[in-house]
Structure 1
Amino acid sequence: MSLPIIKGEKIEPKFFSKHSWNADLIDFDGPLLSLYKGEYDEDLLYIWLDCNATKNRWGVVPISRNNLRAYLDCSVTLRSVFEESSWVAMFHTGSAPNRRNSPICTTWQEAREYLPDEDSYLVPEISTEAARQLATEACEEYPLGLDGDMYIDDIAAIPKIYQQLYSFHYGLEHLYRPAVRATLDRLANNWTGGFSAVHLFTGLNHVTPSIHRAQVTEMRYNSPGHIKLDLLPKLANRIEISAKQVKDDTSFHALEEFYSSTYRYFKENNISGFDDESDGGSINLAPEVVDRLNELVTFFFRLMLWGDYREPFSILQVGPLHQLRALLAYYRRLRKLRPYLVTERLSLGRSKLLIQT
């Protein structure tokens, strides 16, 4: 039996190679609807459409942040999401499921027979556990208060650093999500130096769906000013706790002493890559060195008041050396906020925000 003919423009198969899996939303003996990330961090839905004896037909549809949230919340139907999309890409898979054949780009006007039903809500009876978990976490408005003298490089640096810290915490808070765990394992296993800091932060950001990313909703600066973000409040609270540790003189000096003593320990034991975020090849470490590095990792968690992070962090498929390098990469970013915090040019949280009237 042949599949219905759909008219459209041919596209290159490599279009799909830049998409990365995020979560399956509907599954029945295999994924029927899945959430993916596109080349430019946009959200995409992959949906199974049809099949015959030799091949399966799939569709790829863009979905906005608002529509993704509404669909997960059962506020809109999949049909309405698709009808709002400006395009749909289609391809076929056969005996080799990773090979995408005959890809085209078309519209739902050309493919109306594949539109979902009018009542195609993501009800609990058909949604996956991953879909339900994504739906339970809702973002809230959160301000970064700005005051005092600011320059354009300050306005650029603060959001970038904050986003990196947010991605790091998202990873540790969401290790139960297969896409997050797989990304961390893949990065650790593929890099010759274990955790490469640059790939760590960008990789975690890439597996954060748009509904959980820190989205700018308003920027205003005329001393005082603010950057309002729509984000997960639990992660914002985590960053606040970390920021207090580098703002407070006593805890900051303890962290700096830890950083310096760790550097000396690396030097004394000929361990390279202390502050090189792209190098530091794997080396054989004596058992006593491994034990000491584990102690340093645990001590860092105590200094940062991250006691509940220690256990999930330890299950990652990397040794204590690369764990420590990842933590120090986080700390190097965090302490860049200290000059803004101690001079009160940056404040975190609603209670400290000075709102213009």
Structure 2
Amino acid sequence: MARMPKLGGKSVSGKKLPEFTWNADLIEFDGPLVSLFKSDRDADALFVWVDCDRYKNRWCIVQVVRSNLRGYLNAEIALRDLFEQAGDLYFFDVGPSGRRSNFVVSTIGIVPQSYLPAADSMLDDSVATDAARRLASEGTSSCVFNLDGELYLDDISAIPKLIQQLYSFHYGLTHSYRPAVRDKLTEIMGKWRGGVNAVNIFTGLKSVIPSIHRPQITELHYASPGHIKLDALPDLTQHIDAALNRISDDQNFERMQELYSSIYDYFKREELSGFDDVDVSKATQITNRQSGDLEGFFNVFFDALGWSSYSDSFRGLDPSPLARMRVLLAYYRRLRQLREFVGQGKLRLQS
């Protein structure tokens, strides 16, 4: 087998490129050929296999924007078009150990023609993986959160941030069938056996939400009343709205607060951590009795939020009821903050 050609372009250090997180394989044949990745800069990229020799495989990183990714998944835009619109193309080689090397930044005009996809390189059903088809089938639509009352700059910052965090949580639970999402949730919750900053579960999940599923602000209007209009997965915003509706009812909120206080008292009495957004220096070992108690709290909490459909999938992510309880507490604290905006008349419910 002939060695791969030397690439035209500029050699770069791999350390200067973003960190990429695998999201899904879109085309496979004896291994992945086109895969979707997410960078630590919240940008999507396709990793496309282009060549190999007896020693290494060569890949191309093709940066892709939200609209083009959606078009490619829907078989409306060819892979060749994504190469042409990406601007800089980044190549690297991978050896048997999995180590990446020989990073080169190039442009479409000077790379070997054999590295470029055909003009009709559509992601149709004949080549798409099940993961690609499922990503394509989940369409976003317009979702609205109504604003009112006296809003300040920090309110405009806080409300979308809380919505984003709750959205990430629901995305994780409803998409735990996807290996990338499930692995990230399992990783985060595993760390929570010993405690970790609560923000990490929400920021961690963002790393496996492709741009086509992220809530994108399409309109921000405030004129008493106003609104935040998002292009997002409608079932996830409905989950947020339903949970907010539940605790916006005074009687339901009082019951939730009593439950929260009971769990808080239990954690203090049993010398367990999990209420503050701080790191815990060592793992917390729990007894069988504590495990049973926490499992009971978990069941009551899920019933109170009306999440019976989530219960089994959430349990499957981590066997530790302490880790699961910590995650629920982190979610509830953020939901309660959003409720305060409802009580102040700054955020109005849909129903």
TM class, shorter-length: over 0.9
Which deviations, in whole Å up to 9, do the C-alpha atoms of 1:114-171 show, x marking residues without a partner? 2111110001111111111101100001111111101111111000000000000000
For residues 49-198 of structure 1, the aligned pairs below 5 Å read 49-97=50-98, 99-111=99-111, 113=113, 114-190=115-191, 193-194=194-195, 196-198=197-199
Which deviations, in whole Å up to 9, do the C-alpha atoms of 1:219-239 show, x marking residues without a partner? 111212111100000001100
Structure 2 CA distance for partners of 1:5 and 1:283, relative to 1, 3 Å: closer
Which deviations, in whole Å up to 9, do the C-alpha atoms of 1:53-76 show, x marking residues without a partner? 222111001001000001000111
Q: Which residue of 2 aligns with 1:271?
A: 272
Equivalent AA in structure 2 for residue 294 of structure 1: E
Equivalent AA in structure 2 for residue 263 of structure 1: Y
Aligned partners of 1:198 and 1:278 also within 8 Å: no
CA distance in 1, matches of 2:47, 2:348: 41
Name stretches of at least 5 consecutive residues in structure 1 with no aligned partner. Answer: 353-357
CA positional deviation for 1:194: 4.5
For residues 255-270 of structure 1, the aligned pairs below 5 Å read 255-270=256-271
1:20 matched to 2:8? The reply is no
CA distance in 1, matches of 2:8, 2:193: 46
CA positional deviation for 1:267: 1.8
Name stretches of at least 5 consecutive residues in structure 2 with no aligned partner. Answer: none
SS class of match (1:299): helix
Q: Which residue of 2 aligns with 1:242?
A: 243
Q: Which residue of 2 aligns with 1:231?
A: 232
SS class of match (2:227): strand
CA distance in 1, matches of 2:294, 2:165: 24
Equivalent AA in structure 1 for residue 56 of structure 2: K
CA positional deviation for 1:208: 0.4
Which deviations, in whole Å up to 9, do the C-alpha atoms of 1:30-74 show, x marking residues without a partner? 110000011201000001001122221110010010000010001
Aligned partners of 1:72 and 1:134 also within 8 Å: yes
Q: Which residue of 1 aligns with 2:38?
A: 37
Q: Which residue of 2 aligns with 1:355?
A: none
CA distance in 2, matches of 1:107, 1:261: 61
CA distance in 1, matches of 2:278, 2:170: 19
Aligned partners of 1:195 and 1:323 also within 8 Å: no
Which deviations, in whole Å up to 9, do the C-alpha atoms of 1:270-297 show, x marking residues without a partner? 2233334432742222212110100100
SS class of match (1:264): helix
Structure 2 CA distance for partners of 1:306 and 1:280, relative to 1, 3 Å: farther
Q: Which residue of 2 aligns with 1:321?
A: 322
Paired residues, number: 349
CA positional deviation for 1:6: 2.1
SS class of match (1:91): strand
CA distance in 2, matches of 1:262, 1:280: 22
TM-score if structure 2 supplies the norm length?
0.95
CA distance in 2, matches of 1:277, 1:343: 29
Q: Which residue of 1 aligns with 2:211?
A: 210
Q: Which residue of 1 aligns with 2:339?
A: 338
Structure 2 CA distance for partners of 1:91 and 1:134, relative to 1, 3 Å: same
Identity %: 44
